[in-house]
């Protein structure tokens, strides 16, 4: 399977872009969704977390108490390492399995941490959805009710725009409207069909 890695900072338009490719029949695997799936109640990683931390790591409905876990691994780096050792390999395995099951002409892996996490290694080609920081902040705040400072902190913790731009094979500018984004993605989609067919 020829796999496109799709990335971008918070509020850059990754979902808007992956929705476009999905409308063309392309299978989209979202790394954030897979990361949640591997810790659903009853899954091996969920069981391991429950065994290690007990019920304090769970909410009343047995789902993970993410706020508690976040604080725990923030305070104790060794616990972060342990948690990642339980979740990261399973996320990777599930991403690979879902990509292999795709029946479309090519498949897409959407990940905000495509370059940071090493997930780019699972892809043949990468596409960055790119906007300036002020647009990221404006769109992310109007969508999530997060305040601008929270979004700025998240942007500061993510890979810099310049670094992403230098790593990506293709860049789509999402600073204008959705029609302008779709126009660029239409051309890129044609090029990906050719690449996938000729590999």
Q: Binding site: what residues are annotated?
A: 11-16
Of 48 and 138, CB closest to ligand ATP:
138
- Does the footprint of ligand ATP cover residue 158 (CB under 6 A)? no
Q: For residues 198 and 78, what is the distance between their CA atoms, to the nearest angstrom?
A: 46
Looking from the CA of 143 toward its CB, the CA atoms found within 13 Å total 13
Find, among 167, 152, 69, the residue nearest to 118 by Cα.
167
Q: Which two tokens stand for residue 150?
A: 């929270």
- Which residue ranges make up the annotated binding site for ATP? 11-16
User: H-helix or E-strand containing 32?
Assistant: helix 31-37
- Does the footprint of ligand ATP cover residue 5 (CB under 6 A)? no
Of 87 and 174, CB closest to ligand ATP:
174
Q: From the CB of 115, what's the least distance to ligand ATP, in Å? A: 14
By CB under 6 A, name the one of 16, 73, 159, 193 that touches ligand ATP. 16
Q: Which residues, 77 to 136, sit near ligand ATP by CB under 6 A?
A: 112
6 beta partners: 110, 127
- Does the footprint of ligand ATP cover residue 143 (CB under 6 A)? yes
Residues in the chain: 199
Find, among 90, 107, 128, 186, the residue nearest to 12 by Cα.
128
Q: Which residues, 169 to 188, sit near ligand ATP by CB under 6 A?
A: 174, 177-178, 181
Judged by the rule CB under 6 A, the positions of this chain that interact with ligand ATP are 8, 10-16, 112, 139-140, 143, 174, 177-178, 181
């Amino acid at each position: 399977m020829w796999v496109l890695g799709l990335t971008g900072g918070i509020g850059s338009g990754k979902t808007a872009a992956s929705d476009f490719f999905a409308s063309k029949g392309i299978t989209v695997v979202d790394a954030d969704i897979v990361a949640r799936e591997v810790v659903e109640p009853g899954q091996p990683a969920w069981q391991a977390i429950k065994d290690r931390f007990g019920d304090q790591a769970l909410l009343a409905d047995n789902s993970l108490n993410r706020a508690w876990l976040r604080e725990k691994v923030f305070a104790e780096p060794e616990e972060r390492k342990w948690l990642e050792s339980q979740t990261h390999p399973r996320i990777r395995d599930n991403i690979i399995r879902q990509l292999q099951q795709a029946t479309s002409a090519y498949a897409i892996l959407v990940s905000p941490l495509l370059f940071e996490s090493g997930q780019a290694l699972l892809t043949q080609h990468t596409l960055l959805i790119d906007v300036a920081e002020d647009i990221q902040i404006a769109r992310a705040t109007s969508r999530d009710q997060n305040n601008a400072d929270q979004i700025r902190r998240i942007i500061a913790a993510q890979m810099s725009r310049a670094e992403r731009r230098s790593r990506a094979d293709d860049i789509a500018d999402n600073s204008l409207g959705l029609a302008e984004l779709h126009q660029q993605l239409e051309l890129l989609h044609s090029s990906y069909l050719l690449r996938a067919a000729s590999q």
